[in-house]
Structure 1
Amino acid sequence: MSQSLMAKEALQAPEQIRRQLYENQNTVKDIVARVKMFAPKMVYLIGRGSSDHAGVYAKYLIETELGIPVCAAAPSVSTLFGKTLQLEHALVICISQSGKSPDILHQVKQAKQTGALCLALVNDESSPLAKLVDQVLPLKAGPEKAVAATKSFLCTLSAIASLVAQWADSKELTFGLQSLPAQLEEVVSQAPKLGFNDLKQVKHCVVLGRGFGYAIGRELALKLKEVCGIHAEAFSSAEFLHGPITLVANKLTLLNIEIEDETFEHHKKQIDEVVRRGGQVLTLNINKQNQSAENIYKRFIPLAIMLRFYLDIEGIAQQMGLNPDEPVGLNKVTQTL
């Protein structure tokens, strides 16, 4: 099999994150100084697709580290319903690879008009979005040509973590970021967690995580749809018990995102209940036999799981006879209203 753009770009993620953390040090300090002076009462996240999924990680990290409430935008409220939200005490974080989508730009313009402090996490530093906001935190992911986002998603998570680490003055996050690129490089050399035989007969599946596991679950489900043509939906494992668990009776395949953090024991009980009811569970976690992976900070385990997953499903897609670089009906930049 020839190596796809998707695989090549996913493999670049550790080095791009290393570059990002080094080059953005002063930028992050400047942004946090302005944010602290503004003293936001809430954080309002704007994004579509993978950027929206990265926002779920941001929500969990900001709320657990800073205690500031975070909510996600519904762009059509402003673009189609014509309503302007009152965001004068909000830090608006807009996440975008291209910085070009009309609905994203429209909402940022409205947010600025109501007095919000607007920050863009964007890969294209010359984009309309970068020129519109008050502050820019560059993703530094480098050019990403594959339709399926990989390194830009991981670089978004690391950028969010660097912002929160500085804002919360978190020694754990700061120290964890220092070793993250090297730990991700070791993930690349690990054995796959998913193989062709695991998914070759799967048409529908559910992705289950809790907390930071759920934060990446939506992105993981999206990639199963985009790259492998598998219908996948993500749930918090707690929410799954409130009704959807009845689907397990249909011999449903479930992907279990296993993260050893504060949610681990509760999530495990929920997964055990799924197994008890006959669910076919595939577990995604880090390789604990690897010393570096053993020491990865718990908040960055999601990045390690995602990187390994990207590489695994790229190979599976090719074995299925699919081209991971050309998902049917998709373009790299999607413009919506």
Structure 2
Amino acid sequence: MSFMAEEAADAPQAVARFLEHNGKALADLGTRLSNGPPHVVLTSARGSSDNAAGYFKYLCEIVTGVPCASVGASVVSVYGGTLKARGALCLTISQSGQSPDIVALQKEAMAAGALSVALVNVEDSPAARHADICLALKAGEERSVAATKSFIVSCAAGAAIVAHWSGDVSLLSAVARLPDTLDRAMRITWPGFTDFAREAASLFVLGRGPSFPIAQETALKLKETCAIHAEAYSVAEVMHGPWELMERHFPVLVYAPADAALANTREAALKMRSTGADVRLVGECLAHAPSGHPLLDPISMIATAYLEIERFAVSLGRNPDRPRLLKKVTETL
């Protein structure tokens, strides 16, 4: 078994560790945010962590109504910009917690008056040490270059913050059940997935709302482990240009959780199929483990996808743990 498969399979236990370790801190943070809501949320992250930040963004805006945006770290680290962030929340998400640009943005936001919360797997890292509040991911070591369980825990952590902040009972309950949901997700397979894009020059991965960052993460993993040219788009945005690439047998993977966008997603899938494209919906023709809350279903969907992508990489004769040009920790300025 590859490290990627082994680590992805540990996600249920990793989420359980995170929730148990951070239970009081999450409740306290939720009370603090509820009593004094930030006027805006800034996120600081790169790569898979930025996809987790994107998932948090949608939950934050849908549930609390507070705008949330990813701030380019280079605005501070390279261009020397000064943030106006008094009264904001700055959420840093990082597996290693040591990329200089991410830490620089975090420090600048704090200097500008933002409350800094870090979701970091390495607890003695700069991002963890310098934050006002550090919620340790407790994902454990990841030896594969392809991050899996740390991404899933980061998404679960973001959902837990929003749930405690809003006091949404159904969301809180679904977050508490996530370890069991993920355990079920690990037992699901997608027959035919390894042949889905084997001969394709390119493919699309689509989502809408909270599932869009999950589509971005899926496309990233297909690139780094399988060397497949995969592009992620919103189900709505794909109609604005990329649609022209649709043709017979063009592979399209669509995340379709049973949320408010499902009807539109189904309608778009029908249009794509009319071009002859090979469109497969996660949540319908591809099974998933329902979480009990539609906003959390994308987390269980990516858990299944990781194991399918690992099998796909192996079927291509690739080592998913050691991509040709990548390394585990990437430090950018």
CA contact (8 A) 1:12 1:151 kept: yes
- The residue type paired with residue 329 of structure 1 is L
Structure 1 position 194, deviation (Å): 5.1
- Distance in 2, matches of 1:194 and 1:114, equals 51
Runs of 4+ in structure 1 off by over 6 angstroms are: 286-290
2:318 corresponds to which residue? 322
3-state secondary structure, aligned to 2:252? strand
3-state secondary structure, aligned to 2:296? helix
Give a deviation string over 1:119-144, Cα, whole Å, max 9, x none.
Answer: 10111111111111111111111111
Structure 1 position 278, deviation (Å): 2.1
- Distance in 1, matches of 2:256 and 2:122, equals 33
Structure 1 position 34, deviation (Å): 3.3
CA contact (8 A) 2:177 2:291 kept: no
Identify if the C-alpha distance between structure 1 residues 135 and 230 changes in structure 2 by more than 3 Å, giving closer, same or farther.
same
Show the 5 A alignment for 1:1-337.
3-192=1-190, 195-249=193-247, 251-285=249-283, 293-294=289-290, 296-337=292-333
CA contact (8 A) 1:193 1:309 kept: no
- Distance in 2, matches of 1:209 and 1:35, equals 29
CA contact (8 A) 1:97 1:152 kept: yes
CA contact (8 A) 1:193 1:312 kept: no
3-state secondary structure, aligned to 1:249? coil
TM-score by length of 2: 0.96
TM-score by length of 1: 0.94
3-state secondary structure, aligned to 1:255? strand
Over the matched positions of the two proteins, sequence identity in percent amounts to 38
How many residue pairs get aligned? The number is 333
- The residue type paired with residue 120 of structure 1 is A
CA contact (8 A) 2:146 2:225 kept: yes
- Distance in 1, matches of 2:286 and 2:198, equals 27
Structure 1 position 205, deviation (Å): 0.6
- Distance in 2, matches of 1:54 and 1:9, equals 17
Structure 1 position 47, deviation (Å): 0.3
- Distance in 1, matches of 2:127 and 2:243, equals 41
Structure 1 position 202, deviation (Å): 2.1
3-state secondary structure, aligned to 1:328? coil
3-state secondary structure, aligned to 2:295? helix
Identify if the C-alpha distance between structure 1 residues 295 and 236 changes in structure 2 by more than 3 Å, giving closer, same or farther.
closer
CA contact (8 A) 1:194 1:312 kept: no
- Give unpaired runs (5+ residues) of structure 1: none
Structure 1 position 80, deviation (Å): 1.6
Structure 1 position 85, deviation (Å): 1.4
CA contact (8 A) 2:50 2:93 kept: yes
CA contact (8 A) 1:258 1:284 kept: yes
Identify if the C-alpha distance between structure 1 residues 289 and 273 changes in structure 2 by more than 3 Å, giving closer, same or farther.
closer
Identify if the C-alpha distance between structure 1 residues 224 and 295 changes in structure 2 by more than 3 Å, giving closer, same or farther.
closer
CA contact (8 A) 1:194 1:309 kept: no
Structure 1 position 190, deviation (Å): 2.0
Identify if the C-alpha distance between structure 1 residues 91 and 194 changes in structure 2 by more than 3 Å, giving closer, same or farther.
farther
3-state secondary structure, aligned to 2:43? strand
- Distance in 2, matches of 1:275 and 1:104, equals 41
CA contact (8 A) 1:193 1:308 kept: no
CA contact (8 A) 1:286 1:305 kept: no
3-state secondary structure, aligned to 2:317? coil
3-state secondary structure, aligned to 2:236? helix
Structure 1 position 294, deviation (Å): 4.7
Identify if the C-alpha distance between structure 1 residues 133 and 294 changes in structure 2 by more than 3 Å, giving closer, same or farther.
closer
- Cα RMSD between the aligned structures? 1.7
- The residue type paired with residue 58 of structure 2 is Y
